[in-house]
Structure formats: structure tokens, C-alpha cells
Amino acid sequence: MHSGTTTTIQDPKNPEHVKTFTFDLAYWSHSGFQMDKDGVFISADPSGKFAGQRDVFRDLGGGILDSAWQGYNATLLAYGQTGSGKSYSMIGFGANKGLIPSVCEELFQAIENRERNQEYQVTFSMLEIYNEQVRDLLSRTKKPGGLKVREDQQLGFYVDGLKSVPCENYAQIERLMEQGTRIRTTASTNMNASSSRSHMVITIQFKQVFLDRELTKQSSINLVDLAGSERQKSSGSEGDRLREGSRVNLSLTNLGNVISALADAAMGKRVLHVPYRDSVLTKLLQSALGGNSRTTLIAAISPADICYEETLSTLRYAERAKKIRNKAVVNTSTLMRESRTENNKLLLGCGNSSMAGQPACLLAEHGLGPHADPMSWAHQLEQARKEWQQQYVAIARERQMTETLPHLLNVNEDPQLTGVLKYFIQPGSCDAGQATSNAITLHGLGISEKHASFTNLDGKVTVTPHSKCKVVVNGVPITTATKLQHLDRIILGSNSAYLYIGFPSERGSDDLSRFDYDFFQLERAAAEGVSVDKLGAVISGDGKADPSVLAVFQDYIKLMPLVAEANQMSEELGKGLKMELKVKNLALSDSRGYDLQKEVMVKVTNQRTHEVWIWSKAKFINRKFLMEELYQRFLDGEDSHNVAQEDDPFWDPLEVIHLGSAHIWLQSLAYCMKLEEQVEFLNCDGLEEAVLHIHISPCSPTGQACGEEDVVIDPLELLGKRMDFQIRIVRCLGAKWLKEDAERGVQIGYRIYDLPNTLYTKPVWKTVNPQIEETVQFTALNASQEFLNYLQTNALIVDLWGLQEGCAERSCCEPDLMTTGEGHIMVDTKKISTVMDTGKSTSNQISELYLKLLKLEQETELLRNINRALREENVLLKASLEKTGSSQQAHKPSNTLKVTGMTEQLPAARDINQVCSQQASYDREFAKALKVFYQSMNMARGQFLRLRLYKPPEDDQMLRPFVHQQSQMLKDFGDLLESSLWKLKNDVTLIVKKKRECLLRVE
């Protein structure tokens, strides 16, 4: 943010892509600040660009108050993704008060300084919208299905039965906000709903009565904290058949549609319909968005590069909303009304706190609707005072108990809701659970009627789980009585987190803020053995871990509690599903051995049928929303079992599951040597899933295996020549997938070099060690340099796929693959493909002719080779015949002179022939030595891969055997390397020695 009005955003993946947005105001509050003596964040440099809460209130809060005093309706909306600072801007944290408390406080200060011939009436209401249901946050009674939104011809949309409390000072509004936050926290626990998925609305009705002029002015101030904007995306997760099913995301989606329609109308486009009625939120915001209100939008954005897409989306959203124009009028109760048109202001802000986003809503008139009780203002105040007296007594009693008794403080994902609920542990023994008969009544997923007992005796507190109830202390599950220490972390059920506050004697000046929701989840993950190191973070020279692994770790931590909650819902609804987090590509690498990008996924298993699904992160989050809706219907007493299969978030059609991958290095093929291996299929955890038996053999065009005499010393000898080889999948041994359920099946797939499609074997069912026995022959008509490099540096990746009864098998046919005349699959076809593509534009006959020419060229080359071999054999035969003829002439006495001459020349000829034959023999021996060396190197590579993936056990007692076994493996690996090099050195030395002796003899 280079100025007070512009925001520039740069794509971290493409730095040259820069976009600039202009708004009425732009605030930077991410860095450049310090804390003053009161704990308020102020700019570290007087000339710096940091904007604190006071700056935001000065610019925005003042305008809201001015509108209220003039009699205009005023609305403030906070929009942005979860964690971007919406709630921080609206509510604030600690000494850094947000807009809502600051506006209320300033309003009452101004009232105290006004003339006494006027009467001021202020009422306060607070509600939230979650899953299209409205909940009154000032009422302790919960109405099934929530409050109803009704419509009146004069008032428009309003919430029927919403409680609106008269207030005489700011302290009362503070108490009401605390009360609303407490009820909101309890409701979110009961519904298992994060506050970042609901909208919160505070409405202040401000009425000015001018006694001397018989005139009233009335203003409705609506302060709206919207749900996290990224939730819209989750419902559109790719590959999810239920992507449009969740009502959790409906209201924000519809809000976007309304803003788009109003923006189009403001630009002069024809708009037939503005969809206010499509959601509860847009109904209640109708006046604020397109009617009688001065409206301000705060768009909160995050500076993190991983939030780029979401931030860009938020900026575009705000830019669209900025085009809307409202017509606000003064609300008076006399016949002569002031009226003026006011442009709608929209401003942009950027928060600096990772507060979770929350909810919003609008009320008409007094927020009571047409059937409001026509009590006088004095009567309303009198009733409110009586309620205040009761609350003051309760507040004083709670404060006294907090100072004297040990207690539990709730810890919520939303920092605004953390520390709101307190559960006191009285002397003696007290039960905790869902039942109202317990001394401590708790709510939340996985909490039983009687979940645990807390005992407060002799200055110490212990917690004891009931039966098999889940209780976790400091990240570790417990089953017996456990003594609690001050600031211990307790998780009850699936994910209800509490911080234990000990006796007053144990307490000090503790910073409780560090024990936030993330602290609990990180501690839980560490206890379960999940860490950055386990996920394979590569520490760079500067000591920092791989950013991609850190991102995966954060996703893992974020999803851990969600998976626990989903499992609990599955259990209570009788769905029989078990979900567990996995990291995709944790131990897998590409064809060159480089680590693949890691990502979190969720493995879902039906414990009754053993059916398995793999869900992406986005798909799981979407399903979690839908599960919550179904679970809420179950809690409300509806029949949750009467759900059509296609609408059930716990069900999906069966699919093929990727079980693991095996790497077969192709270096030996570059030297025309056969390769026969048994390699492990490694799953995403780096563990053995099965063993693959595979043969890769160079062969002739007719499929006959090449012999030792075909081995080449330098792969460049194959450049430009025809190469044929066969890949034979023999069998798959010991597949865990098949051991778990005998009714399952497997398929194996692989793709080599530039093949456009993956080749799959035929499916094999109900066999633990399936015999595959499938052979495919490949042909490179003109082996290119790129193909030979590929063989020397890459591996063939073979994937193992798990089949389930009823799922669609992988296609075994070979579509769109080029084949030779013999029916072999062609690889290394870039040159051919180029010619064929060119041919298509003119005539298909050209490409066919080119293929025929290539084939003729190969056959001609083959004939040349045969002819060359025959010529060499002919020379040898001729020499042999000459020797035979010479020896016969030696017995004739009449030719003594000639015999003598021939006899003198025979040893030289014999030596030359001997040198030629020995030279060929040495080359064969050298090639054979190289072959043995490459085979031993393949074995060494396999041993090294096993060593790298050999992880230490979690059980300390198994550490000694592990170290011993690892030492033995290292010794074997070293011995293999040493013996291979020693043998190669000896073989080469022997060959060189023989060759030198032979040459010396000739000389």
C-alpha cells in the first residue's frame, strides 16, 4: 500500500503480474508498529505508514456517528477471508478496541455532552446467522430452527422475536457484548460450528426526541462481521458431486450476486432482478446494500503470499461493491422531512491480527417488527434495570470464584471466543458431561452424558475419564486418574479444548495468550508423532525448512481437529466411516528421483464393508460442512437416516485407489543389457505396499532376446539405430490391499518416455500374489540423443492401483498409440509426430509414405549390417582356404622354393588372425565386466533407497534393534560397493594386461 488510497498486489509465482486497486482509504497494519504503555499498537515511526485501530476509527467511526446524529441509517460491513483481521477491525483485541466498541463508547460520551431539552433512546441487539438460521445472541433460550425472518410492507424484512435491550451507558453495552459472545461460544460448541462460518450482526437503534420541536430523528446503525469469504470456494471443490449442497456458503455467494447486480445497475446496465430473497443475510441487508443507508465496506486482506488468490478475489469484490450508489434519507417522525441523496461510501482496510471472521445482520425500525409491544421508553428502561441488577450480582459472584477456585477456560479457534466460558471445580468430586445433572455441564462432539470426573482434594486437582471417554492432557490421551498442573491443556471428546487454571497459590503473571488453539493442535500432533521432520522437510543452508513442507504441515494441523470431529459424527450417526489424514507423495518421487509436491488428503474407510475412498483437502472440508448440517438435524430430533444416498455426505461411488509406486532404473537398457528386478511398491507413508517382479529386456524386432554379444560399451553406439525392448510384468507379491480384503483386485500401470497414455495390465481379482504375466514390446525406430539420455538418467515408474467391487476398472486398451508394422508400440516419436502433424494439414498419405520410408530405411540398414557380417566371414573363410591350400602344397617336392617362402609367411598371418580374434574376445570380456558392474550398481541403488526410507521406531524399546539392523544394512551396502568396484578394477586390469601382452608378441 504505497499511499492512503491505493493497493498493489503482485503474483508470487509470476512477479511481473502486478495489479493496482484504488479505494477511498487503504490501511497498512501488518508491520512497522510497537506497543505503548497501555498495550495499544502505535506506529514505530511517526512518518511510517502503519495504521492502528484509532486511525481506522477516526476515518470510519466518525462518519458512522455523524450519520447517526443526522438521522441517517448507517451500515458497516467487514468482508475478507478467515484470519485476515475482520474481527480485529470490528471488535478488536485487548486494549486495541475495534470499531464496534469505539462507536458505542463515543456515542454515549456525545450524549452526555448534549443539551438537556432532548431525550436520547439507545437499544442494542445482537444476532448471528449460521446455516441460514438466525440465533438471538441476547436470549438464553434456543428456538428450534432459529428465529424467523418476516416481511412488512413498511418495515421491510425484520427478525421476528429478536430481543432489543435499552441501554443507558457504554458499560451496559460492554456487558451485552460479553453476554452475546458467551452465548455465541456455547452455540458454536453445541452445533460444532466455527464462528468463522457464521455472520454476526450488532444493531444499535438510536432515537433523538426534540421535546421543544415535537420532532424525532431515528437512526439504525448496523455493524456486520461477515463469515470468512474463502468458504465459498470449499463448496466448489473439484471432483465433489455434492459441491452445491452446503447451505453454510449460500449466504456469501448470494451476497456476491446481489452486489454484482447492484454494481451493474449503477453502471447503467439493465438488471431485471436483484436476488435479495435468496438468503437470510441478503434479506436483512437489503436496505444497507441498495436502499436507505450510508454503507461502508471494510475489505480485510492478508499479506501472506499463500493467500494471493483469496486476496485478489477480495479486492475485486470490494472494487465491484464500490460502484453501488445508495439513496439515504433522514428518518424523522414529523410530516416535514429532511431529505437528501448521499453517495454510498466504500473503504478498504487491512487488519493485522489473525482473528477469525464472523457474522452479520440488519434490523428494521426498532428491530421488533410490526407486532412489537408498545411499551413506553420509561417502562422499557425500568425492566432493563431489574435485569441489570441480577446480572451484576452474577458477574460479581463469578469474579470472586475466578479468584479463589481452580477452573477450566475454553479455548476456541476464534480468539474472540477464547476464555469466554469458565467451569469452576468446587472442593470434592464433580462430574462433567452432557447431562444437566452434572456439576459441570459440557457440550460438544464426542462428549458423553458423564464424560469425566474432576476431584479437588488437599490442594490438588485430578481428572479421571469415565469408561472409554476421550480425555487428552497436554497432547497425550489418558485412561486413569491424572493430576493437573496449572496451565495444563485438556481436550475432552473430539475437540473441546480447555486451559486448566490452578489454585491462586500456583498462579503468577502468566501470559495465557500463548496457549491458543494452534498451541493445542501442535501439541496434539507432536504427541502423535507428526512433525515437520517426519513430513520430510529439507533443511537448507540458512537453517530454514522447505516452505512447501511447512505449508503441508500447517494443512495437516488445521485438518486434524476437523477429521476428529467428522469421525465422531460418523460414529454417532451410525455411518461406520473412519477418516484418517495422509500426506500424498510423502515418500514418492518423480522419474528422476526428485521429491514430488506434497499435499494433504483424507483416507476414508467403511469399517463394515472395507470400502476405501481418498478425498482431497477441499473435498473433505466441503463434506465436513454437509456432515455438520446432517448432524444438526440429528440433534434437532429429525430422522438423519432418511437421507437419499446421492445426498448423503458420508457416501461416494466406489473408485480406484492409488496404492503405491515402484521405481525401475533404466540404465542397463542403454547398454543393451537385460534387467530382472523385484522392487517394492512404496505407499504415501514410504512403507512397502507390495513387491513387483518385472523383466526389462532388449530384443530383436521379432522379439528374440539379445545376448551378451549385443551389449554395447557406449550408449552412443545406439544413436540413430532401431532399438527394441520388452517390458514384462511378471507378478505382484504380498499386496497388503488384497490381504485386508480377499474380494479386492489390483491393476498395474506405467508410462515410458513420451507415450501419451498410461498402459494398464488386465485387472486381477481375489488373489494375494496375483500372477500378471503381461509383456509389451516397444520400438524406437531412430534412437535419439534425448531418448538415450532418458534411459541413462530416469526410472520407469510403475503404479499399483487397488480395485473394489463395483468400481470402474482402468482401461487396458491402447488408444492413440503409434505402432510398427509388427504391432509394437513406438516410442521416441517426436520426429515422426512432427512429420505426421504436418502431413495432416496437407494429406494423410504423406505421413503414411514417410512411415514406409522409415521402415524401408531400417530394413536397408539391417541388410547392410548382414552384408557387412557376411563380408567379414567371407574374408575369414578365404584366409582359411589359403592356409589349407598352402599346407597341401608343402608336401610337393618340385616346389621347394615356394614352400619355403610360404612357410616363412605363415606365422605372421597366423599372428594377425590370432590378434583379430583375441581383440574381439577382449571387447566381449570388457562388455561382460561392465554388465556385471551395472547389475551390482542396481542392487546397490535398491539398498540405498531402502536405507533412506528406513525410519526409526516410535517405541524407545525397539531403538536398539533398529540401530543394530541399520548398522548391518550400512555394512552390507558398503561391502557391496567395495566388492563391485574391486571386481571391476581386477577385470579391467586383467583385460588390459592380456591386451598389452598380445600387442608385444605381434611387435
Q: Is 291 annotated as a binding residue?
A: no
The Cα-based distances of 916 to 564, 905, 909 in angstroms read 77, 17, 11
Q: How many residues does the chain have?
A: 1003
Half-sphere exposure of 195 (CA within 13 A, CB side): 29
Q: Which residues contact 415 (CB under 8 A, 6 or more apart)?
A: 87, 93, 353, 354, 355, 356, 516, 517
φ/ψ of residue 275, rounded to 5: -80, 60
Q: How far apart are CA 434 and CA 66, in angstroms?
A: 48
Q: Is 771 annotated as a binding residue?
A: no
β-pair partners for 34: 42
SS (H, E, C) 609-659: CCCEEEEEHHHHHHHHHHHHHHHHHHHCCCCCCCCCHHHCCCCCCCCCEEE
Q: Is 745 annotated as a binding residue?
A: no
Q: Which residues contact 487 (CB under 8 A, 6 or more apart)?
A: 499, 500, 501, 502, 510, 512, 515
Asked if residue 982 lies in contact with residue 974, where contact means CB atoms within 8 angstroms, the answer is: no
Q: Which residue type, as a one-letter code, is found at position 629? A: E
Q: Is 901 annotated as a binding residue?
A: no
β 471-473/489-492 pair status: antiparallel
Q: Is 80 annotated as a binding residue?
A: yes
Asked if residue 698 lies in contact with residue 710, where contact means CB atoms within 8 angstroms, the answer is: yes
Q: Is 4 annotated as a binding residue?
A: no
Q: Is 467 annotated as a binding residue?
A: no
Runs of H (alpha helix) within 91-228 = 99-112, 170-191
CB atoms within 10 A of CB 451: 25
DSSP 8-state assignment for residue 312: H
- Can you read off the three cell numbers belonging to residue 834? 512432427
598: left (phi over 0), alpha (psi -120 to 50) or beta: beta
Asked if residue 77 lies in contact with residue 298, where contact means CB atoms within 8 angstroms, the answer is: yes
The Cα-based distances of 996 to 983, 986, 1003 in angstroms read 20, 15, 11
- Can you read off the three cell numbers belonging to residue 742? 480377499
The helix/strand/coil state of 421 is coil
- Can you read off the three cell numbers belonging to residue 802? 487397488
Looking at beta carbons, which pairs linking 577-585 to residues 24 or more positions away fall under 8 Å?
A: 577/604, 577/605, 577/606, 577/607, 577/650, 578/604, 578/605, 578/607, 579/603, 579/604, 579/605, 579/620, 580/605, 581/556, 582/614, 582/684, 582/685, 583/535, 583/552, 583/556, 583/684, 584/684, 585/684
- Can you read off the three cell numbers belonging to residue 266? 449503477
Q: How far apart are CA 106 and CA 65, in angstroms?
A: 8
Burial of 144 (0-12, 13-18, 19+ CB in 10 A): exposed
For residues 346-376, b (16+ Cβ closer than 10 Å) or e, as one string? Answer: bbbbbbbbebbbbbbbbbbbbbbbeeeeeee
Q: How far apart are CA 646 and CA 745, in angstroms?
A: 26
Strand residue runs (E) in 347-395: none
Q: How far apart are CA 411 and CA 414, in angstroms?
A: 8
β 74-80/294-300 pair status: parallel
The helix/strand/coil state of 492 is strand
Q: How far apart are CA 345 and CA 589, in angstroms?
A: 53
Q: Is 81 annotated as a binding residue?
A: yes
Q: How far apart are CA 706 and CA 723, in angstroms?
A: 11
Q: How far apart are CA 890 and CA 913, in angstroms?
A: 21
**Positions at the binding site:** 80-87
**Positions at the binding site for ATP:** 80-87
